Each structure stands twice: as structure tokens, then as C-alpha cells.
Amino acid sequence: MYEFDFVKPTTLADAIAALGAEEAQALGGGQTLIPTLKQRLAAPAVLVSLTGIGEMQGIELGEGQITIGGATPHAAVAAEVAAAYPALAALAGNIGDPAVRNRGTIGGSLANNDPSACYPAAALASGATIVTSNREIAADDYFEGMFTTALEDGELITAVRFPVPEAASYQKFEQPASRFALVGVFVAKYPEGVRVAVTGAAEDGVFRWSEAEVALSADFSPAALEGIDCPAEGMIADLHGTAAYRAHLVKVMTRRAVMAAAG
Amino acid sequence: MTQVSMTVNGQPATGEVEGRTLLVSFLRDQIGLTGTHVGCDTSQCGACVVHVDGKAVKSCTMLALEADGAEVSTIEGQANADGTLNVIQQAFQDHHGLQCGFCTPGMVMSAAALLKENPKPTEDEIRHYLEGNICRCTGYHNIVKAIMAASGQDVAVLAAE
């Protein structure tokens, strides 16, 4: 790692002020950023830790919605939303491994927007609201492509608000070495309709599979997906799988998610 | 350089570190607790697992300054007060849960975290919990067996391979 200064503010206001410095970078749980720094792929002058800010921690279970503080680790989400939103808890409880889940945070994952990360699929399929230090962003407007989001410099995710669906499931086909999603599909059924978000598959990062959404909104069953195929165009192709293979997996994982959610 | 202070295995520990100093470097190089190992240095292998405020973390992927004021436990703090091995360590010895021993500190610390959360885990739960701990001797079977035994469960149900 290149050298950097480290500060650990205890309030959001102090964190925002610290991020105003030249070449400052926010540090969540560090489970992606620290490996990136070790490879010298980033060289911030100052790291601003978000782990000491009480107002960014914790989970609030409200009427029909769940609000998760931006600096809340995956392990807390897995433990605390299990009854209120089991599919979200299951997703959080399957990210990385237990030690990673004790450090990695929901805000860090969404700010990084790794094209193979799990949380973007949950946020997009749930129509979540990304609450930042200066505004609220609908998930549909938030994800702008691989490692790219609507966040501006110095803007922090303070919380994420999830409307609780009637039924949901996340199905991840793991890349066995990294345990990131080779393809992950989150299906969530709301009174207004079904939303299907796919991670791991596309070159532009997480996306909604709208054709499947229309079919599943009319008939929430695996049979509704017959005759629908996800196009291979724009899918990631690498040593782990071709674009056609990923496109095929999108349908398989969607079907599994519908079966799990409907069951 | 910045001063960092934490409690390690019940003892106060203080040192001067850089922003980029990793928790594992502080433990090994500054306070001399070399039981915590660095295997991969990329947060894959789990040889560096320690507990920070009771939670298992990979100390190669946490900055020392993030642990300022924290209670840290390492493998050196696991033995009983009289110096004998604790239940998990003894089970690793009894069930041959180690070969070269390099991964063992991380395995024992992960096992301790698991049993605190889930005192009677099933074999599947143990294997799932150990996803972030790699044993390159591939001694997983006996590691799982040792953790089953440490939780007071019958290990005869596991095949004797």
C-alpha cells in the first residue's frame, strides 16, 4: 500500500468535512478497498473511516419497510432482518465468508457497485431508496454501470430503505473461488408487480430483466418463464463462462428464485 | 505515525503505527504475537482470523487504527489460565485437526466464533462457516470432526476417512 493518512470521525458532518480534503476516500468495512490498496490500484491521500459513526449504523424495522444504516455490516443484516425480509437476510448471510461479513457494509457494497456483488441485485429488485448525505436516490436511477453509480464526490450512503415484498428470493450461482455471483438473480413480488434484478451477468452491471418481470407479474410461477430467454448480448464473457452461458444461467436462476419465493 | 491502543488477550497494547499498518502487522511485528499468520494477504485464506470486540475478522484486511480502543483476542489468548489447551485446541489435537499447522490459528479462532454463535452446529453448518478458512493440507475432514467434538457432539456419525 502507498502511504495515507487515516481519520475516523464519529459524526456524519465530520466525515463529510474530512472527505472534502484533496484525494480523500471513504472507507467502509474495507473488504474491497483494502485489497485494492494493497495492489496499489488506488492511492488516496487520506482514508476517512465510516465505522465510528453511530448514525450510520443499525437497522430499523418499520411498517412495510426496513431501513439499514449505510455502515451496517452484512452479519448484522443477516441476523436482524431474518424474520422481516428473509430473502434479504439470506443474501447478506451468503456474501463472502463470516469474517468478511463482520466487516463489509451495505453502503460500501452499493457505493462500489461491483458488477458481481449481491447487494445491488437486492436494492434494484426491491426498488430500494438509497439515502445519501444530501438526497434520496431511487435504485432505478442509482446504478449507472460497472463500478459506476449516481453518487457524487464526497457523497455518502447514510442508509438504504427497502420496501418489504410479499414474496422474494435471491439465487446465486457462485463462482467457486471468489464466491462472488457468476450470476445472481433477485426476484421480489410486490402488489404493484414483480421485479427481477440480475447481478454478475452483464457488462454494465446489475440490470432488471423486464421481459421476465412482465411475465411474472401476470403469472408468478416458473411456467410463466417458458418461451422467454435472456439475450446473450452485453453479457460478461471470461474464463469462468461465456456470454451465452451466463444468459442461460439468468433464466435458470430466475426460475429457481420464483420456485423458492412461491414455495 | 499515530498512536494506537487496544486490549489484546486482556493486556493493554500500545504502539506507533502508520495509517496503512494492518492489524496483523501490529500484532506480529510490534507486539510480537506471531501466532496469527499471514497466508494469502488477500483476505481469502483466513490464517489471520482474530476476534475484534468478539467478532471474527481477517486481520490482514483491517487497519490497525480501526482497532483502536478495541478488545482483540488472538490464538495466544485461547489456552486455559493454567496453560493447558482449551476445548477447541484439545479437540484439534485429539482428532488430528492439523497437519502442517499453518492454517490452525485461523481455524481455531473461526471455530471459537462459530461455537459462540451456534453451540451445536451441524456438519453442514461447520463447513459453511469455514468457507473463509483454507487448509492447503486439505485436512478439512478432521478439522470439522474436531469442531464437532469440541461442541460436545458425537463424531462417530462422520465417516472415518
CATH number of the domain bearing residue A87: 3.30.465.10
Residue B55 forms contact with A (CB below 8 Å) = yes
Cβ separation B19–A47 shorter than 8 A? yes
**Same structural domain for residues A85 and A123?**
yes
Instruction: With H, G, I as helix, E, B as strand and everything else as coil, classify residue A132.
Output: strand
Residue with cell 452485453: A234
**Domain tally, chain A:** 3
Chain B stretch 70-109, residues whose beta carbon is closer than 8 A to a beta carbon of chain A: none
Contacts of A96 in chain B (CB under 8 A): 132
8 A C-beta contact, residue B118 and residue B108: no
CATH assignment of the domain containing A12: 3.30.43.10
Task: Please give the pLDDT value at position B156.
Answer: 82
**Mind giving me the DSSP string for A91-105?**
HHTTSS-HHHHHH-B
Residue B126 forms contact with A (CB below 8 Å) = no
**What end-to-end distance do the CA atoms of chain B give, in Å?**
52
Q: How far is it, in rounded angstroms, from Cα B77 to Cα A252?
A: 48
Using CA atoms, how far residue B4 sits from A144, B7, B28, B67, B74, in Å, is 39, 10, 15, 8, 17
Q: What is the separation of C-alpha A52 from the centre of its chain, rounded to a whole number of angstroms?
A: 22
Q: Which residue of B has its CA nearest to A6?
A: B19
**Same structural domain for residues A171 and A158?**
no
Task: Please give the pLDDT value at position B159.
Answer: 63
Cβ separation B132–A97 shorter than 8 A? yes
**Same structural domain for residues A133 and A214?**
no
Give the one of B41, B46, B55 whose C-beta lies nearest to A38's C-beta: B41
Q: Report whether pLDDT(B161) > 60.
A: no
**Same structural domain for residues A62 and A40?**
no
Residue A224 forms contact with B (CB below 8 Å) = no
Cβ separation B20–A97 shorter than 8 A? no
| Per-residue pLDDT reduced to its tens digit, B119-141 | 999 999 999 999 999 999 989 99
A87: CB partners within 8 A, 6+ apart: A122, A165, A168, A169, A170, A186, A188, A261
Out of 2.40.128.260, 3.30.420.10, 3.10.20.30, 3.30.70.270, the CATH code matching B2-77 is 3.10.20.30
Percentage of chain B modeled with pLDDT above 90: 93
Q: Which residue of B has its CA nearest to A47?
A: B19
**Same structural domain for residues A58 and A108?**
yes
| Per-residue pLDDT reduced to its tens digit, A96-119 | 999 999 999 999 999 999 999 999
Distance from CA of A247 to the nearest CA of B (A): 27
**Same structural domain for residues A153 and A223?**
no
Continuous segment of H or E residues that includes residue A255? helix A243-262
**Superfamily designation of domain B87-150:** [2Fe-2S]-binding domain (1.10.150.120)
- Which domain, by its residues, includes A102? 54-163
Q: Which residue of B has its CA nearest to A52?
A: B66
Pairing of strands A65-69, A59-61: antiparallel
What is the ipTM metric for this complex? 0.95
Continuous segment of H or E residues that includes residue A36? helix A33-38
Contacts of A44 in chain B (CB under 8 A): none
| Per-residue pLDDT reduced to its tens digit, A236-261 | 999 999 999 999 999 999 999 999 99
Cα angle vertex A31, ends A72, A45, to 5°?
A: 100
**Reported confidence tier of residue B157, pLDDT bands at 50, 70, 90:** confident
The average pLDDT across B42-53 equals: 96
Pairing of strands A143-145, A148-149: antiparallel
8 A C-beta contact, residue B6 and residue B71: yes
Strand partners, A208: A197
8 A C-beta contact, residue A123 and residue A76: no
Cβ separation A75–B55 shorter than 8 A? yes
Distance from CA of A100 to the nearest CA of B (A): 7
**Same structural domain for residues A39 and A79?**
no
* CATH 1.10.150.120 domain range(s) in chain B: 87-150
**Same structural domain for residues A111 and A41?**
no
Question: Residue A192, exposed/middle/buried by CB under 10 A (0-12, 13-18, 19+)?
Answer: exposed
CATH assignment of the domain containing A216: 3.30.390.50
Task: Please give the pLDDT value at position A177.
Answer: 80
Residue A102 forms contact with B (CB below 8 Å) = yes
Number of helices (H), then strands (E), in chain B = 5, 5
- Give the A:B interface size as CB pairs under 8 Å: 74
Residue B56 forms contact with A (CB below 8 Å) = yes
| Per-residue pLDDT reduced to its tens digit, B63-81 | 999 999 999 999 999 999 9
* CATH 3.10.20.30 domain range(s) in chain B: 2-77
| Per-residue pLDDT reduced to its tens digit, A42-80 | 999 999 999 999 999 999 999 999 999 999 999 999 999
**Same structural domain for residues A66 and A152?**
yes
Would you give the DSSP letter of residue A139? H
Give the one of B19, B42, B46 whose C-beta lies nearest to A3's C-beta: B19
Amino acid at B150: A
Q: How far is it, in rounded angstroms, from Cα B133 to Cα B127?
A: 10
**Same structural domain for residues A183 and A237?**
yes
Residue with cell 430503505: A161
Sign, CA dihedral B20-B25-B26-B29, equals negative
Q: Mean pLDDT across chain A, nearest whole number?
A: 96
Q: How far is it, in rounded angstroms, from Cα A184 to Cα A123?
A: 13
8 A C-beta contact, residue A163 and residue A126: yes
In the 3-class helix/strand/coil scheme, how is B121-143 assigned residue by residue? CCHHHHHHHHHHCCCCCCCHHHH
Q: How far is it, in rounded angstroms, from Cα A86 to Cα A169?
A: 8
Amino acid at A138: A
Q: How far is it, in rounded angstroms, from Cα A125 to Cα A128?
A: 8
Distance from CA of A140 to the nearest CA of B (A): 32
Chain B stretch 14-43, residues whose beta carbon is closer than 8 A to a beta carbon of chain A: 18-20, 22, 41-43
Helix runs in A133-191, H state only: 139-142
**Same structural domain for residues A12 and A33?**
yes
Q: Which residue of A has its CA nearest to B64?
A: A6
| Per-residue pLDDT reduced to its tens digit, A18-47 | 999 999 999 999 999 999 999 999 999 999
| Per-residue pLDDT reduced to its tens digit, A206-234 | 999 999 999 999 999 999 999 999 999 99
